[in-house]
């Protein structure tokens, strides 16, 4: 399912928990956390985040060393890195920018404003590559949803199918709007609401099928 993958790197457990809760409330984001730059490099090699949110001062490999390693590899050179730091004077900001950081979020930060702030940094970093990746993933999402549509019409056990449909719809409703695909976002939201209204044992799936067909139609136009 499509979501914006954010890797958060900080050696303070309380800050990791706060960021995880903040972004976890927004369906547009998928988050993983770790406590050092070295751990982050290992995760990047197999998870490919859309953005890295990192502390600057950490034991072992700090944020600046991690950024330098990322910029050395063609595979990771373009991953946006946003630093979270209490050090936000003009000299520090200039240093971070020269090293290739996308931006800075000043500590202490507002957890409620964090998702919006990260969206802004992603746009500033240039969303074109992420957008094309999202559009590519829309095709695989559409294929999975089309398979769910077939199963709704032939399977007696529909609970797991409905759960899958709801999960895809939930992710698309939150993410598609970020990229300006508002019709997909609207149809996905309507599909999610429709699946939420179904009770166990309810055999009438007409409303779900109609909403799913509408979403597949707008995804095909994309």
CATH code, domain with 52: 3.40.50.2300
> In this structure, are 13 and 60 located in the same domain?
yes
The full DSSP string for 32-60 is EEESSHHHHHHHHHHH--SEEEEES--SS
Domain boundary among the residues 125, 160, 195 is at 125
> In this structure, are 114 and 206 located in the same domain?
no
Domain boundary among the residues 99, 125, 151 is at 125
Domain boundary among the residues 80, 97, 125 is at 125
Q: How many domains does the chain have?
A: 2
> In this structure, are 8 and 73 located in the same domain?
yes
> In this structure, are 133 and 26 located in the same domain?
no
> In this structure, are 9 and 103 located in the same domain?
yes
> In this structure, are 12 and 47 located in the same domain?
yes
> In this structure, are 119 and 197 located in the same domain?
no
State CA 189 to chain mean position distance. 17
Query: pLDDT tens per residue, the chain (222 residues)?
Result: 568 899 999 999 999 999 999 999 898 899 999 999 999 999 999 998 999 999 999 998 999 999 999 999 988 988 999 999 887 778 888 888 888 888 899 888 999 999 999 988 887 776 555 666 777 788 889 999 999 988 886 765 678 888 899 999 998 988 888 777 889 999 999 999 998 877 555 567 888 999 999 999 998 876
Between vectors from CA 28 to CA 190 and to CA 166, what angle results, nearest 5°? Answer: 40
**pTM as predicted:** 0.59
CATH assignment at residue 134 = 1.20.120
* 169: nearest Cα among 218, 217, 220, 215: 215
């Amino acid at each position: 399912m499509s979501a914006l993958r954010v890797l958060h790197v900080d050696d303070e457990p309380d800050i990791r928990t706060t960021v995880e809760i903040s972004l976890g409330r927004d369906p547009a984001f998928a988050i993983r956390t770790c406590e050092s730059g070295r751990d982050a490099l290992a995760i990047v090699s197999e998870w490919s985040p859309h953005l890295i949110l990192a502390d600057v001062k950490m034991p072992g490999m700090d944020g600046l060393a991690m950024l330098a390693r990322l910029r050395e590899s063609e595979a990771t050179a373009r991953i946006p890195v946003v630093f979270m730091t209490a050090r936000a004077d003009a000299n520090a900001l200039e240093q971070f920018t020269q090293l290739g950081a996308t931006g800075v979020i000043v500590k202490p930060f507002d957890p409620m404003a964090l998702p919006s702030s990260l969206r802004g940094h992603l746009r500033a970093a240039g969303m074109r590559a992420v957008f094309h990746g999202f559009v590519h993933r829309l095709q695989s999402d559409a294929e999975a949803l089309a398979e769910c549509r077939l199963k709704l019409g032939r399977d007696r056990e529909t609970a797991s199918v409905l759960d899958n449909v709801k999960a895809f719809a939930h992710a698309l409703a939150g993410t598609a709007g970020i990229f300006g695909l508002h019709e997909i976002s609207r149809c996905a939201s309507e599909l999610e609401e429709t699946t939420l209204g179904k009770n166990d044992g309810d055999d009438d799936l007409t409303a779900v099928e109609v909403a799913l067909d509408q979403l597949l139609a707008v995804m095909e136009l994309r």
